[in-house]
Structure 1
């Protein structure tokens, strides 16, 4: 059966989210016996080497990039470095499903930040959805409760940094190669983790550790390539909601690998965040379609 472009995009997005979550699981297991900077620098090195090969193969280096875009790439890279450190540190110390539930707020935070800092129009319906979604985040982290720790704060901080990263990506010129941006990001994380590794007491690695590290490198590469392909195959408004597949995979792996299962309040909060995120994405898609339809009706001379 021939799949439509949207269904191919949905499958690729789901695969990318599963791959990213498996990568997170590998890192969490490694974090039980190895220092963070040790396995992070090794993973970053593997990802950077693979990306160099892909970038050279597709000729992304030959694409001219303006100073403005290089500045945005630098901002995105710094934000990614901060997001990687806060996320992985939180990941080592808290259940993977709980952290994944917090990260599902990203469509809400990106929409809100785009409205506040980029001037993108957001109506009252999406603002209401964002407010309700943040209430769901509150149920997940529950400040003042027994489950609220410094690791929960780092998880929230990673959401902020990823939001900055995504805003910088939105401002990039369309002709900037995605692979070049990815390589710059991977190189930034490699430099940061390399500096941290210099002040880390490295631990010997057994065969299982190397296997987990190899899996982390391969799955993060699969995740990135699949997510880029997903955005280029189907309509963004249709494909983007399938990013929530990461939460399902995190719930399954958290239970099977670590024996963790979120409490009822966390699951309720996660459901609220996912529902409001889906509404926000659906609303944005509907508005874009309505705007495109108006432009077609008006025609090229309508503005005169």
Structure 2
């Protein structure tokens, strides 16, 4: 009976994980939709403010707000949030000019960045298998972005920056997992992000006239809160090593939303390069499967 219950919990965890990355893809789709009428900085500010209000209200109703704010490593909380705001800003600007699937494929190089910087920061050894997987993965990024080719858009470089900064964000999240609960980290993510971006609202805000724009504004914040909360619930149901491969469903959701919302079919270079990046990341997950990944590190949007 225990085995059956454990398997049932694992399946629920996987379903929650797939739903979480669908939420992350929906953030990007909402941001891309809004970029037609709003500046990226305004979209980032709205994303954090709406998400923070939702998260703070929900968490405050469930637990002591003072206890929620208590962190043993405030400096790391601020650094993590700075990384996330930077990654979000670069990603949203890139989404203004590039198809959803292309940006997602490039930013999914983040685990490869983690494989490189985890050595000096976390004391993990970088073996030849890890180094080879990283090189192959970055070759996939080159295929997607196609540097030196006339068709490359400069915004692809912002997607690369997103992957690099997101890698630092993931490592800092691992460091925080040993000291702070995920709800506290989630709270500080919204708090710091709002403090950093909200001052831009009075200078950039223009009241939308189209109902669809209001829907996009609510969506970008709502899916930000929902995606990260589902991620926490998923990790409470199943081991991180089991859930990690399903984070790559984000690519499939990005392709689906790109086709349905924007009519963008990914070209063959994006498909090939994205497959190479995903395969390299999955190999790293398999090779390092005994390691435990804390909740909340898969998405930086």
TM-score by length of 2: 0.88
Shift of 1:208: 1.4
Q: Against the structure 1 CA distance between its residues 232 and 256, is the aligned structure 2 distance closer, same or farther, given a 3 Å change threshold?
A: same
1:100 aligns to what?
A: 104
**Contact 1:99–1:155 (8 Å) recurs in 2:** yes
**Contact 2:44–2:89 (8 Å) recurs in 1:** no
State the distance in 1 between where 2:209 and 2:189 align.
Answer: 26
Q: Against the structure 1 CA distance between its residues 141 and 116, is the aligned structure 2 distance closer, same or farther, given a 3 Å change threshold?
A: farther
1:257 aligns with 2:271: no
State the distance in 1 between where 2:126 and 2:13 align.
Answer: 26
1:58 aligns to what?
A: 63
**Contact 1:25–1:96 (8 Å) recurs in 2:** yes
Greater mean deviation of Cα atoms: 44-53 or 237-246: 44-53
**Contact 2:84–2:166 (8 Å) recurs in 1:** yes
Q: 1:25 aligns with which of 21, 26, 29?
A: 29
2:9 aligns to what?
A: 5
Alignment of 1:79-158 (within 5 A): 79-158=83-162
Shift of 1:122: 3.2
Greater mean deviation of Cα atoms: 249-258 or 168-177: 168-177
1:163 aligns to what?
A: 167
**Contact 1:133–1:277 (8 Å) recurs in 2:** yes
Cα deviation, 1:103-135, whole Å, max 9, x if unaligned, reads 221222112210243221232222211111111
State the distance in 2 between where 1:206 and 1:125 align.
Answer: 52
**Contact 2:83–2:168 (8 Å) recurs in 1:** yes
State the distance in 1 between where 2:143 and 2:114 align.
Answer: 20
Q: Against the structure 1 CA distance between its residues 61 and 177, is the aligned structure 2 distance closer, same or farther, given a 3 Å change threshold?
A: farther
Q: What stretches of structure 1 of length at least 5 have no aligned partner? A: 290-304
Cα deviation, 1:128-161, whole Å, max 9, x if unaligned, reads 1111111111111111113322211111111111
**Contact 2:71–2:184 (8 Å) recurs in 1:** no
TM-score by length of 1: 0.87
State the distance in 1 between where 2:179 and 2:76 align.
Answer: 14
Choose 1 or 2 for highest CA Rg.
Answer: 1
Shift of 1:288: 4.7
Shift of 1:61: 3.1
Is the partner of 1:229 in helix, strand or coil? helix
**Contact 1:9–1:234 (8 Å) recurs in 2:** yes
The number of residue pairs the alignment matches comes to 286
Q: Against the structure 1 CA distance between its residues 201 and 54, is the aligned structure 2 distance closer, same or farther, given a 3 Å change threshold?
A: closer
Is the partner of 2:18 in helix, strand or coil? helix
State the distance in 1 between where 2:156 and 2:288 align.
Answer: 29
Q: 1:35 aligns with which of 17, 35, 39?
A: 39
Shift of 1:177: 2.1
State the distance in 2 between where 1:260 and 1:212 align.
Answer: 19
State the distance in 2 between where 1:209 and 1:288 align.
Answer: 42
State the distance in 1 between where 2:76 and 2:135 align.
Answer: 29
Greater mean deviation of Cα atoms: 267-276 or 46-55: 46-55
Considering only aligned residues, what root-mean-square deviation do their CA atoms show, in Å?
A: 2.0
Is the partner of 2:204 in helix, strand or coil? coil
